[in-house]
Structure 1
Amino acid sequence: MTLTVTDALLGSGLDHRQGVAIRLDGGSIAAIAPEEVSGPRLLALPAFANAHDHARPLSLTSFGAAFLPLETWLPRSALATPPDAYLAAAAPLARAARSGCAAVMVHYTRPSGRLSPVDEAREVARAARDVGVRMAFAPAIRDRNPLVYGASEPVLAELPPEHRETMARMFERPAPAPADYVALVEEIAAAIEGPTVSVQFGPAGVQWCSEPLLEAIAERSAATGRRVHMHLLETRYQRDWADRTFPRGIVTYLKEIGLLSPRLTLAHAVHSTEAEREMIAEAGATIVTNFSSNLGLRSGIGPIREARRQGCRVCVGMDGLAFDEDDDILREMRLVQSAHGPWGFDDPGDRRRFLAAVIADGRASLGAPGDGALVPGAPADIVLLDLDALDRDAILPVDPLDLLFARGTQRHVRDVVVAGRTIVRDGVVLGLDLDAAEDELRDRYRQALAGEPLLAAWPSFDRAALRWYTERAGCC
């Protein structure tokens, strides 16, 4: 297959070239050469990476969770437990593909419970392969603090008895022992890993994982090289918990147990300190920023400009909460660069370096091959944008990268190629009928939630959780 385009952003520097033929051989780029091109204007550039997501089937806003802080939003996500593992994963993966993503992190925090963990992972991997995206799958685990960052009893004690039983039954569940979790991850890896699917350890976050669990993961990651994906300091309440629990520093603790390494990816880091970011940079670990999610969950605006300046590897994730709840990675990258890029006359070339870096570091965090650059021999992961639509006024010649950062959205994505396979053509995902999948999910959720006892329990739980965080956690 040969892609002939009027414009392309090539190499690690995203250098603009006009009139280009990109010849593919199997899953790789065989050659790139000048070519006389007529017809519609198309811009070829490296396909994107969604470096932190949970493959949520539908927006949690539709389940009544709009603008809740994470601490009450997250329990509400139980209402969106997948009714079908394949369908629930395929829909968000297809949305990511439609926006130009070649690679997606699935930090799998909400299993359906209808299958064994290994069989559920097989269904998610089948969905990724059908859609055609590269996927890193990290089965999430928690073994402490299921309701709040502390003992559940004070919160449960405030609930009416029937609501107390409902919440305890849903959230007070036994977790596997550390050795059993490590063994499970490796069993899942043996079952689903392949050329486009990899498996990582997925501790949910330090506040949700016991020290023996984190230490077991650190030890096995060091021994095998398997990557680790986890949340860190997403909210101010997590910051308060971390300061009380680890007076010598939460990132210091991660370093001491060997978890802080180039194998580690940390989502959010909104409330990280300068000293913590220096340690993250020194270790070669990666931070994934989730700008829209942090806004929607009222978590804050993270110090990403500072993290980049300190030398941290930074990439971008949608976290299932892109700004318009449409899983648009292009808009998300633009928001991150606009909010965290240079001001005034400083460094006008930052946008080009930023885009190359978040693609390269995103791929690295997912274990995807190459840095995304379009060069001979590289994986054929390419997105084609409709440059006629992007350059809608066509008055003067404008750098396509300027057009992309000024107004690019997923509606400008025409084709997406991953490992040499076209997975989106003319803006339509080929491996899944996305509209039909989302309609089926909506129907299943409407039926499943009729009479759901959790719905009655939320008001009393929200009041109890609010009191716990404002009166006990040291934040208000």
Structure 2
Amino acid sequence: MEQIPASYLFGENARVLENASLAIRDGKINRIDNGESSPAGRSLIIPALINAHDHARPRLSSFGAIDMPLESWILRSALATPPDPYLVAVSALGRSARAGCGGMMIHYTRPSGKLSMVEEAQAIACAAKDVGLRLAFAPALRDQNPVVYGDTEEFLNRLPVDAAAVVREMFVKPPAEPGQLITMTEEVAAAIEGPTVDVQFGPAGVQWCSRELLEGVAEASALTGRRIHMHLLETPYQRQWADREFPGGIVEYLRDIGLLSPRLTLAHCVHVTPAEQEIIAASGSRIVTNFSSNLHLSSGIAPIGRAYRCGCPICVGVDGLALDEDDDILREMRLVRLAHRGDGFPTNWTAAEFLSHVVTNGRAAIGAPGDGLLKAGAPADFTVLDYELLDHDRLVEVDPIGLLFSRGNSTLVKDVVVAGRVVVKNGGLVGINLDQVEHELRSHYRANISRSSRLQDCWPTLEAETARWFLNFQSCG
């Protein structure tokens, strides 16, 4: 039985134990002792963090996807289509692990196109095993609106012939039938699901899914118990589209077809109304917020504090677009709490309450066992932080979790343990060489970037026409 000492340990009931010792046996926490002798170097053990919404993609700014709304950013991101699904996934999973995560949701929206979805999923599951993270995998399901929200042919007719040809070739494919997409998800599950892998239905978002597809997913989830992960109302244009297509209310529709339930996690929810938040809360569905991503893409600031107050379970994801594009989940969690803790003396949550809340709900979002809190019998999923580095001034006694949420970031991460397996040791990944992986990945992209030269050549026109479409779309509201 292995024992890990800690100066501080964040345990049950949001309590910090001093001079604690955590014992591991067979992948679980055997016991936690308090009042042990202090370890040689000061450390803080917290539950392993959860990146509850991501897409396993490279840093998009390197591909020129900078300072643009989601609706054009998505088109530009085609330049980053994975040359090798394993390398892209292992890079993203490795960055999350090194930042202190023990689990990650990959909502797989841009496959390489070189393999079947089952084969791509197997490559990604292999990446998660090599890194050592718990994986939730949701192949993105969509069957409408491949380029803009509305008539694709009308949009293509606005483009010069050459640009229209490029867009048609790259983005406009015959959609699969809803039943085929649901069956494909089950085939992926049969291929990769296991104790540390959870496969979920992944409708890309209401604007990209027909009613038949959304209703089919709701029915299949109810029958099988399979979880669902979906974007909802991320941008103002999605809000306007939803209000036109669903005059009775998009969230009311999702409730009425049975899609809303504790099995569902909704990403973003930037433009939900208070009434919609009440409906989401009543259903038990979770909201995963992605603060930095919403800032990068000019989507807005989600009303997460309000959602929490009305009873919505909240978790946090970096969406592959953290503030510094470094997948730093600690910084992301700090930003979310700072932005939504409240004004003045009343607060929505203390730092300790927030940490407990997002870890527990993050694990529910990815289908991980337990509530994530450190206690006897729980899975041995935890992160060891360098408290000497965090409290380098060492002037007075301070609350360790308060200090963590004051200035903590991924540079503090020493070790990460998942199901008793050490996946990060002394700040480095144990299972893979991340520098080597990212060097190989950059080489792939550099060798293949010329294949997308036609999209780059027509980009100024495509970007301008996309902006014009959505600005007109907005003005017609």
Q: TM-score range by the shorter chain?
A: over 0.9
Change (3 A) 1:337 1:475: farther
1:273-284 alignment runs, 5 A limit: 273-284=273-284
SS in 1 for 2:148: coil
The answer as to 2:420 corresponding to 1:420 is yes
The answer as to 2:130 corresponding to 1:130 is yes
SS in 2 for 1:449: helix
Distance in 2 (alpha carbons) for counterparts of 1:451 and 1:97: 32
1:303 deviates by: 0.5
Distance in 2 (alpha carbons) for counterparts of 1:455 and 1:164: 13
Distance in 1 (alpha carbons) for counterparts of 2:244 and 2:349: 42
Gaps of 5+ in 2: none
1:348 deviates by: 8.4
The answer as to 2:43 corresponding to 1:42 is yes
Q: Give CA deviations for 1:338-388 in whole Å, capped at 9, x if unaligned.
A: 000022222486221111000000100111001110000000000000000
Distance in 1 (alpha carbons) for counterparts of 2:253 and 2:22: 48
Question: Contact 2:182–2:217 at 8 Å: present in 1 too?
Answer: yes
Amino acid at match of 2:51: N
Residue in structure 1 matched with residue 107 of structure 2 by the alignment: 107
1:385-424 alignment runs, 5 A limit: 385-424=385-424
Q: Give CA deviations for 1:189-242 in whole Å, capped at 9, x if unaligned.
A: 011011110100000000000011111110000001000000000000000000
Length-normalised TM-score, structure 1: 0.98
The answer as to 2:42 corresponding to 1:32 is no
Residue in structure 1 matched with residue 183 of structure 2 by the alignment: 183
CA RMSD of aligned residues (A): 1.1
Question: Contact 1:342–1:350 at 8 Å: present in 2 too?
Answer: no
Residue in structure 2 matched with residue 4 of structure 1 by the alignment: 5
Question: Contact 2:341–2:349 at 8 Å: present in 1 too?
Answer: no
Residue in structure 2 matched with residue 312 of structure 1 by the alignment: 312
Amino acid at match of 2:89: A
Which shifted more, 381-390 or 168-177?
168-177
Residue in structure 1 matched with residue 239 of structure 2 by the alignment: 239
Question: Contact 1:241–1:473 at 8 Å: present in 2 too?
Answer: no
Residue in structure 2 matched with residue 459 of structure 1 by the alignment: 460
SS in 1 for 2:475: coil
Distance in 1 (alpha carbons) for counterparts of 2:239 and 2:39: 56
Question: Contact 2:304–2:340 at 8 Å: present in 1 too?
Answer: yes
SS in 1 for 2:53: coil
SS in 1 for 2:258: coil
SS in 1 for 2:422: strand
1:20 deviates by: 1.1
Change (3 A) 1:304 1:475: farther
Residue in structure 2 matched with residue 55 of structure 1 by the alignment: 56
Change (3 A) 1:475 1:297: farther
Question: Contact 1:322–1:328 at 8 Å: present in 2 too?
Answer: yes
1:475 deviates by: 6.6
Amino acid at match of 1:184: M
Residue in structure 1 matched with residue 299 of structure 2 by the alignment: 299
Q: Give CA deviations for 1:59-90 in whole Å, capped at 9, x if unaligned.
A: 11110011110000011111111100111100
Distance in 2 (alpha carbons) for counterparts of 1:297 and 1:284: 28
Residue in structure 2 matched with residue 223 of structure 1 by the alignment: 223
Distance in 2 (alpha carbons) for counterparts of 1:175 and 1:356: 41
Amino acid at match of 1:196: T
Residue in structure 2 matched with residue 148 of structure 1 by the alignment: 148
Distance in 2 (alpha carbons) for counterparts of 1:337 and 1:390: 18
Amino acid at match of 2:372: G
Question: Contact 1:469–1:475 at 8 Å: present in 2 too?
Answer: no
